[in-house]
């Protein structure tokens, strides 16, 4: 994989870092900060290359071994997840709080052979992602074992060069990150613009209507047929779950093919074009999408969705879809979430929500006005996202050069890392 420079070594990860399993806990171990519990990050908390400290689980401290508390410089890696794309994702810990990680993660704690930041940046390389993808081609696609991590090979230069490389990466990334922040701010402004459009639409200001009638979704929706449990190999379907939805664009990005034999236990709801898939788990994440593609018609969705099927004699599917994206619809549901590990609402909470409804022709006019406004925002968003992709590519180009020994000058006086003592300790 690597054409290394003189004085560099290719070193197995288990010689560079201690691999520590995350904390195993039960529901009985979960509490709050007020009763002496410690926050736990999980695979979903790994966002980009950083830890997101939202939706933490709090676990009694007695369940956590001393070496399972995260230390500055540790890299947290997702080792197991129902979502294949999360497996192998990493984030470094900044050392700012007392915290640990769950059993579906592992801690990689670098030793003194490698600079903490150099170690961190390796896990952001495309080479690392390609390696994880090759592991994922096996039968156990949603799990990454400690043995898989241990045999990862990392190109390691002398410590002095590691530090020079890190300084150069930090310098270049600092410039790129400033541009990324400006672009991210623009995306946030676009999100606020869309919410403003939706607020005007559903308060009668975007298009002047006549009378609005107050209804519950239950009054306006049709029931959804259930798939019968089957072990029939001849039964084939596409399965839509939370991972099928891009919650940034609220679109369906794919589905998993299954047979009756391989069907997940939650594959129960037969969906149709025009249905709104509304995730009842962590409603604030807005895992919401409207089915418009014929290939998903009469396919199967997870029971993790409340499927909103509009009675088209009273309610347009697009009208209710756009309404589910509004803060006025989501905020009351967010307040009703139950549970600490996976906070969720019931289908009945969703279907008992109220909506003010104009006539069908007026609903169509409102949808038209929303989409007209959104088209302008979409053009700007596409340009911003293209710029963000270019920034990511530029970062990858820098990392590729860094781990090929081409980012900073070589110094023949640098001493290579010495593996002798580490190997002796491992043999013991």
Please list, in sequence order, all residues whose beta carbon lies within 8 angstroms of the beta carbon of residue 74, skipping any fewer than 6 positions away.
Answer: 92, 93, 107, 108, 109, 110
Q: What is the pLDDT of residue 140?
A: 47
**Cβ distance 149 to 19 under 8 Å?**
yes
Query: Domain check: are 142 and 5 in the same one?
Result: yes
Report the CATH number that the domain containing residue 288 is assigned in CATH: 3.90.220.20
Sign of CA dihedral 253, 227, 349, 31: negative
Q: Is residue 207 part of a domain?
A: no
**366 and 348 share a domain?**
no
For residue 198, being part of any structural domain is answered with no
Same domain, 121 and 5: yes
Q: Are residues 146 and 247 in the same domain?
A: no
Residue 131 lies in a domain: yes
Domain count of the fold of the chain: 3
Tens-digit pLDDT profile for residues 262-280:
999 999 999 999 999 999 9
Is 208 part of a structural domain of the chain? no
Are 259 and 374 members of one domain? no
Residues 399 and 265 in one domain: no
Q: In angstroms, how far is CA 332 from the centroid of its own chain?
A: 24
Residue 420 covered by a domain: no
Q: Are residues 41 and 121 in the same domain?
A: yes
Q: Are residues 181 and 145 in the same domain?
A: no
Domain annotation covers residue 273: yes
In a domain, 13, yes or no: yes
Q: Pick the closest to residue 147 from 19, 31, 327, 52 (CA basis).
A: 19
Q: Which of 330, 357, 384 is the last residue before a domain boundary?
A: 357
* Beta strands 236-240 and 46-47, pairing class: unpaired
Within a domain: residue 166?
yes
Dihedrals phi, psi of 164, to nearest 5 degrees: -65, -40
Distance from chain centroid for Cα 107: 19
The residue segments making up the domain with residue 53 are 1-156
Q: What is the pLDDT along the chain (428 residues), one digit of tens a residue?
A: 566 677 899 999 999 999 999 999 998 888 876 678 999 999 889 988 899 988 888 999 999 999 999 999 999 999 987 667 778 999 999 888 899 999 999 999 999 999 999 999 999 999 999 888 877 654 445 788 888 899 999 999 999 999 999 999 999 999 999 999 999 999 999 999 999 999 999 988 888 877 899 999 999 999 999 998 888 888 999 999 998 999 888 999 989 999 999 999 999 999 999 999 999 999 998 999 999 999 999 999 999 999 999 999 999 999 999 999 999 999 999 999 988 667 899 999 999 999 999 999 999 999 999 999 999 999 999 999 999 999 999 999 999 999 999 999 989 899 988 878 666 656 65
Is this prediction's pTM over 0.85?
no
Based on the fold, state whether residues 217 and 118 are members of the same structural domain.
no
Give the HSE-up count for residue 74: Cα atoms under 13 Å, Cβ half-sphere: 27
Closest CA relative to residue 321, chosen from 352, 294, 291: 291
Same domain for 31 and 167, yes or no, is no
Sign of dihedral through CA atoms 232, 233, 237, 240?
A: positive
Identify whether residues 219 and 134 lie together within a single domain. Answer: no
Same domain, 43 and 134: yes
CA distances from 195 to 323, 370, 385 (A): 10, 10, 19
- Interatomic CA distance for residues 90 and 180, integer angstroms: 20
């Amino acid at each position: 994989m690597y054409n290394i420079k003189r004085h560099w070594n290719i070193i197995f990860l288990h010689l560079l870092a201690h691999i520590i399993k995350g904390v195993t806990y039960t529901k009985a171990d979960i509490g709050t900060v007020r009763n002496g519990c410690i926050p736990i990050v999980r695979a979903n908390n790994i966002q980009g290359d950083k830890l997101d400290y939202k939706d933490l689980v709090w676990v009694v401290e007695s369940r956590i071994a001393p070496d399972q508390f995260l230390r500055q410089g540790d890299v947290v890696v997702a080792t197991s997840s129902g979502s294949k794309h999360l497996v192998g994702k990493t984030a470094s810990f900044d050392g700012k709080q007392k915290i640990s990680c769950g059993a579906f993660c592992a801690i990689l704690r670098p030793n003194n052979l490698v600079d903490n930041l150099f170690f961190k940046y390796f896990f952001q390389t495309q080479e690392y992602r390609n390696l994880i993808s090759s592991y994922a081609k096996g039968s156990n696609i949603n799990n990454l074992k400690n043995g898989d991590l241990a045999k990862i090979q990392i190109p390691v230069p002398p410590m002095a060069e590691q530090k020079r490389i890190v300084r150069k990466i930090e310098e270049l990334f600092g410039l790129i990150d400033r541009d990324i922040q400006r672009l991210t701010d623009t995306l946030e402004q676009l999100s606020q613009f869309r919410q403003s459009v939706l607020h005007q639409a559903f308060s009668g200001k975007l298009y002047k209507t006549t009378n609005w009638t107050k209804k519950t979704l239950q009054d306006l929706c049709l029931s959804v047929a259930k798939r019968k449990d089957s072990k029939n190999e001849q039964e084939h379907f596409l399965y839509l779950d939370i991972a099928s939805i891009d919650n940034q664009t609220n679109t369906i990005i794919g589905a998993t093919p299954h047979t009756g034999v391989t069907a997940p236990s939650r594959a129960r709801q037969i969906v149709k074009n025009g249905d709104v898939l509304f995730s009842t788990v962590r409603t604030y994440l807005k895992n919401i999408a409207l089915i418009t593609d014929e290939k998903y018609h009469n396919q199967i969705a997870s029971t993790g969705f409340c499927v909103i099927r509009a009675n088209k004699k009273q309610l347009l599917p697009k009208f209710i879809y756009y309404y589910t994206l509004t803060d006025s619809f989501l905020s009351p549901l967010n307040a009703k979430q139950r549970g600490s590990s996976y906070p969720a609402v019931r289908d009945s909470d969703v279907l008992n929500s109220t909506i003010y409804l104009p006539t069908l022709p007026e609903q169509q006019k409102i949808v038209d006005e929303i989409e007209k406004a959104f088209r302008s925002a979409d053009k700007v968003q596409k340009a911003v996202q293209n710029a963000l992709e270019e920034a990511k590519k530029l970062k990858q180009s820098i990392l590729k050069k860094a781990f090929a020994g081409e980012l900073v000058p070589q110094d023949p006086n640098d001493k290579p890392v010495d593996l002798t003592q580490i190997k002796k300790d491992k043999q013991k």
